[in-house]
Amino acid sequence: MFRWIGRKYKQIKSIISIIPILFNDHDWDGVYLVYIMLWKLKRMQKFWSNPKNYHIVGGPKIYAQISHTIWELEQYISDSPSPKYKFTDMEPPEHEFNFPRTEQIQKEFERWAKLTEYDYQIKEEFKRNAFERISKKINKWWD
């Protein structure tokens, strides 16, 4: 009886913890599934970080894999440039916006566009690596 009450309490607590994520859903938001995956992976990370679960074969290794996957997914959804790479020339150029300097402005715009495209490719690489790891390890993590 008491075990049943404890299990129901944990289930209700789990449902309550995901409600804010469910309310933030937008049909146009492609990152929404990543938020749900992060919620689930963080709960699993908490489970595998408990020393009581180290007796399970590969517990610390699974914890490290999940932690790295969480980090990659967080890098993917972050709005800041990727921390893995330093952009020394990310500061906006200081100049007067004179109309005769349109070539200079065009060159600066192209430079910023290249940096933005490069950062987009890095974030896509984070996403691809994280989901490849999830697809390969999903049976071992949820076992």
- Can you give the pTM of this predicted structure? 0.66
Per-position b or e across 65-86, b if 16+ CB within 10 A of its CB: bbeebbebbebbeeeebbeeee
CB 81 within 8 A of CB 90: yes
CB 76 within 8 A of CB 123: yes
Cα radius of gyration rounded to whole Å, the chain: 22
pLDDT in tens, 5-58: 888 888 888 888 888 877 777 766 678 888 888 998 998 888 888 877 767 777
pLDDT in tens, 67-124: 999 999 998 888 665 554 444 444 444 544 444 456 766 677 677 777 777 788 888 8
